[in-house]
Amino acid sequence: MRQIILDTETTGLEPAQGHRVIEVGCVELLNRRPTGRTFHRYLNPDRDIDEGALQVHGITREFLSTQPRFTDVATEFLEFVGGAELVIHNAAFDMGFLEAELKRLPGPPPPLAQVCSVLDTLALARQLHPGQRNGLDALCKRYGVDNSHRDLHGALLDAKILSEVYLAMTGGQGALTLGTAPSANGAKATGASGRRVREPVEIPIVRASAAELDAHERALDGIAKAAKGRCLFRELPNA
């Protein structure tokens, strides 16, 4: 199964108000394992960026003025995501912006939802953790995913973090090793397969005392008497 973990950054909150995509980041998973393939582009929106959005991602219009436009990368983007399941946190937001960008292209491009299926990890998290905070930062804390390097939002960075969160939410397979390496001081470790490896735990064995064994036998005598001489526990092997 091929999945694309996807995130975008935008000039604002509403594509209907003319806001545009300014960054797309994608991470490929194949059978729940990261392949190392990514798609990452900054995009020139030909418009100003809302102050609120700038505070979230820190991407300036000056920087974007030298970047390609969505129309320049659309074919490459569609080829990368085509036929995959898109895994997106709050999918309605990103899909709304991407569909708006596709509608601006010349000709009738197919809706993205016809090219790919979509899995919304926000909806999944709300099912798993109703009534709790289910933003990406909250999920990182809940599932032990290191996001300490996330000072500002970034499409590729957030897609990589979401990859770890999604895999942890749905079975824990295949970390992307975004955090620190394993250590002997309690840091999380991974084995050769990418699975997290738990440190072995010694389980203490507490044996019954002579007084406790005597009390146990008296209790069994009482059961046998009440059952007219039969105690099933004493008939079990090694009982």
Q: What are the residue numbers of the active site?
A: 153
* Phi, psi (degrees; rounded to nearest 5) at 86: -85, 130
User: 42 has which bridge partners?
Assistant: 23
Q: Round to whole Å and give the CA distance between 153 and 55.
A: 9
Angle between helices 121-128 and 155-169 (to 10 degrees): 40
CB within 8 Å of 74: residues ≥ 6 apart:
101, 102, 105, 109
What does the alpha-carbon distance between residue 239 and residue 237 come to, in Å, rounded to a whole number?
5
Q: Return the number of other C-beta atoms located less than 10 Å from residue 31's C-beta.
A: 10
Classified as helix, coil or strand, 181 is coil
Q: What is the 3-state secondary structure (H, E, C) of 204-238?
A: CCCCCCHHHHHHHHHHHHHHHHHCCCCCHHHHCCC
Question: How far apart, in Å, are the Cα atoms of 142 and each of 44, 90, 170, 198, 234?
Answer: 36, 18, 13, 17, 47
CA–CA gap between residue 53 and residue 11 (Å, rounded): 6
What is the C-alpha to C-alpha distance for residues 92 and 8, in angstroms, rounded to an integer?
Answer: 12
